Amino acid sequence: MKVVVIQGPNLNMLGHREQSIYGPMKLEDIHNQMRAFAEQNGIEIEFFQSNLEGEIVDRIQECLGEADGIIINPAAYTHTSIAIRDAISAVQIPTVEVHLSNVYAREEFRQKSLTAPVCAGQIAGFGPFSYHMAMIAIVQIMNEVKAMREAQQAQQAQQALQNN
C-alpha cells in the first residue's frame, strides 16, 4: 500500500516562516518522521511539495492507479482552490487533510476549507503531530478499504462457483 503526501505553498519554508504559529520544525524533519512511521507499518510513501496550484492538481491526478491514500496540506489553497478540491474529488482516493495550525482559531478567511468536504477528514492544530495523526488515519482507512475489497472479491468468487 502506498501513501502520497502533498504539501502546498510556503510549507517548504517551515522552520523559517512564522515560528510562533508553525513551530521550528523543517518540512524535511516532518517527512523523516512520517517515513519512519511508514516503514514501521510496511507502507510505501512518497512526498511532493509545490507552490503552484496546477502542479498540485497534476500530482493528485497522477495518484490514480499509484496511491491507495493521500495526505494533503493544501496550505493557503485550502481556502481558495476549487481546482484542488475537484482533483481530490475526481480521483476518488481516500484523502486526509492536514494543518499544522488550528485554522479555526485564526483569521476568518482561514476558517473555511474548500477541500475538507471532499476528504475523509481533517486534522488541524497539533503542529507536526497533525501529520502523525494523519498517518494513523490514512493507514486505518486504507486497511478498511483493502478488507472491503477482499471481502467483495471472496463473495464474487463464491458466486461464480455457485453459478458453475
The binding site for ligand DQA (CB under 6 A) comprises: 10, 73, 75-76, 78, 99-101, 103, 110
- Cell 517548504 belongs to 12
The least CB distance from residue 142 to ligand DQA, in Å, is 23
The least CB distance from residue 54 to ligand DQA, in Å, is 18
99 is catalytic: yes
The least CB distance from residue 120 to ligand DQA, in Å, is 17
The least CB distance from residue 144 to ligand DQA, in Å, is 26
Q: Which residues contact 98 (CB under 8 A, 6 or more apart)?
A: 71, 72, 73, 122, 123, 124, 130, 131, 134
Point out the catalytic residue in the list 31, 77, 79, 99: 99
Residue with Cβ nearer ligand DQA (109 or 152) = 109
Residue with Cβ nearer ligand DQA (89 or 101) = 101
**Residue 163 burial by Cβ neighbours in a 10 Å radius (0-12, 13-18, 19+):** exposed
Residue with Cβ nearer ligand DQA (43 or 100) = 100
User: Are the C-beta atoms of residues 101 and 17 closer than 8 Å to each other?
Assistant: no
> What single-letter amino acid sits at 117?
P
Residue with Cβ nearer ligand DQA (76 or 120) = 76
Strands 2-7 and 44-49: parallel
Catalytic residues: 22, 99
